[in-house]
Amino acid sequence: MQEDKRTVVVTTLPVTPKFNRGLGSFTTVFVADMFNRWVGGRLFTPVNLISRIKKYRRSEADVDSARYYDILMKLGIVPVRTWRDDDPDFQERIKSIIEFFRVEGILTPRCISLLSCPCGAIEIPSDHLLTLYNSKLVENLSGQNPVCRKCSNSLKEVQMMVIKLDTSAVYERELSCTPSFWEKEVRNLFAGFPKKEIIISKRAVIEETKELLGVTFSEETYYLDPVFRWSQFLSGLDDVDDVVIVTGSRTVPYAVLSVWYAGIISPRINFSLLVHPSITFKDDKGTMRATTEELLDRYSRGEIRTLLGVGMTWGKESIIDSSLLYLIGHSIAPPKLLLNSELPEKRSKDLILSGSRSFIRWFNTKKVKELITRVRRGHQITQSDLQLLSALLA
């Protein structure tokens, strides 16, 4: 019988390249690569270069983007598709999305009361303060005098023209998640959307991004919220059946938001989430200071990928002792003959949920540690171990 082959895209959320951080910031893209190898999909690694408050220069964005993709290459991660939020093509897409929302009658300009701070980081509808995304940005969230964590100023109430997306009747859906303990939280996040409006414009904008963020609406110019803008990154995936978004435990709300938007525009696509733990690397001095680039100078990609693999507890947080690198280096020094072990294709119709659930049974802390021990002791390893080792050594 002919197997139903589906086109699967495995993607991260758009990543803002940061190079002074440790290895943990490359966990998501590494897990996406491992899952993509497992599932036989197409890897998508978008980057996000526009920020509302920080400076933006096209030339610097080019350098950051090239450096990010260079690190991915050194980590053995080769996407079939790259994407930047400052691409001219994406700009055209954003215009058509805004037009689509306008024609659907769900996008409207409105004067509303917002809590705002001088630095522009906070612009929150007064009655939405206690929601989803705000606890990271606002100190004293539920108290009398909430304060912006970026500029340390009190929030003031202002009246402002905004464009808002009316979410009341638009879209509801189930989103499958692996590990399954995330499903309840994700259901709650989804359930929260239809009850409120989403403000998609921002007042604070820097000169260099005005052209990218500006939209004209009822003869007024508004600037799009960069989060709204990059959250449309899934909108170009018209020719695929399944999209798996790999995300860290702390960015699940953004993944849900992106899927929510994408569901309005591409209701046919089956979306799901694979949520990995946030990893902290410890050494004898506390948190490991070395950046990913420094580690890549010192260790092989296989050693670094295996260290990341040790962190896959599939809980919310994971702490790894980086001294394991020494042990890994003395265990899995690439036995070249092992490296051609192909993973079987799994692009069948029931792939996504069963595929990602069996993926975390195949790829987790226990399996990786057992593998290291077996290889070090010269014990025989199974076909499944061989496939795991091959994927780790990339």
| Span 130-149, contacts to Zn ion by CB under 5 A | 148
Token pair listed for 100: 């689509």
333 binds Zn ion (CB under 5 A): no
Strands 220-224 and 201-202: antiparallel
Nearest CB to Zn ion, comparing residues 43 and 162: 162
Nearest CB to Zn ion, comparing residues 71 and 151: 151
User: Minimum Å distance from CB 119 to Zn ion?
Assistant: 3
Beta strands in 51-151 (DSSP E): 81-84, 107-116, 123-125, 138-139, 147-148
Q: Are 314 and 364 in contact (CB under 8 A)?
A: yes
Nearest CB to Zn ion, comparing residues 132 and 151: 151
User: Minimum Å distance from CB 147 to Zn ion?
Assistant: 8
Q: Are 49 and 212 in contact (CB under 8 A)?
A: no
What type of residue is 64? D
User: Minimum Å distance from CB 155 to Zn ion?
Assistant: 8
338 binds Zn ion (CB under 5 A): no
150 binds Zn ion (CB under 5 A): yes
Three-state DSSP at 206 gives coil
What mask, x for binding Zn ion by CB under 5 A, covers residues 73 to 112?
A: ----------------------------------------
Residues in contact with 249: Cβ distance below 8 Å, sequence separation at least 6, in sequence order: 275, 276, 277, 278, 316, 317
User: Minimum Å distance from CB 32 to Zn ion?
Assistant: 33
d(C-alpha 164, C-alpha 201), whole Å: 7
Nearest CB to Zn ion, comparing residues 117 and 215: 117
What type of residue is 230? W
Comparing CA positions, the residue from 255, 170, 164 lying closest to residue 217 is 164
Token pair listed for 48: 């996000």
d(C-alpha 27, C-alpha 18), whole Å: 13
CB count in 10 Å sphere of residue 42:
17
312 binds Zn ion (CB under 5 A): no
- The correct pick among 151, 160, 227, 264 for binding Zn ion (CB under 5 A) is 151
204 binds Zn ion (CB under 5 A): no
119 binds Zn ion (CB under 5 A): yes
Nearest CB to Zn ion, comparing residues 93 and 150: 150
Residues in contact with 193: Cβ distance below 8 Å, sequence separation at least 6, in sequence order: 167, 171, 257, 260
Residue with tokens 């993509």: 36
Nearest CB to Zn ion, comparing residues 150 and 187: 150
Nearest CB to Zn ion, comparing residues 138 and 308: 138
Nearest CB to Zn ion, comparing residues 36 and 201: 201
How many positions of this chain bind Zn ion (CB under 5 A)?
A: 6
User: Minimum Å distance from CB 227 to Zn ion?
Assistant: 16
Helix and strand tally (H, E) in the chain? 13, 18
* Interacting span for Zn ion (CB under 5 A) from 117-125, 158-166, 169-177, 295-303: 117-125
Q: Cα 214 vs. chain centroid, distance in angstroms?
A: 25
Nearest CB to Zn ion, comparing residues 150 and 374: 150
Token pair listed for 64: 């950051």
User: Minimum Å distance from CB 127 to Zn ion?
Assistant: 20
121 binds Zn ion (CB under 5 A): yes
Please report the DSSP string for 252-275 in residue order.
HHHHHHHHHHHHHH-TTSEEEEEE
Chain positions contacting Zn ion, by CB under 5 A: 117, 119, 121, 148, 150-151
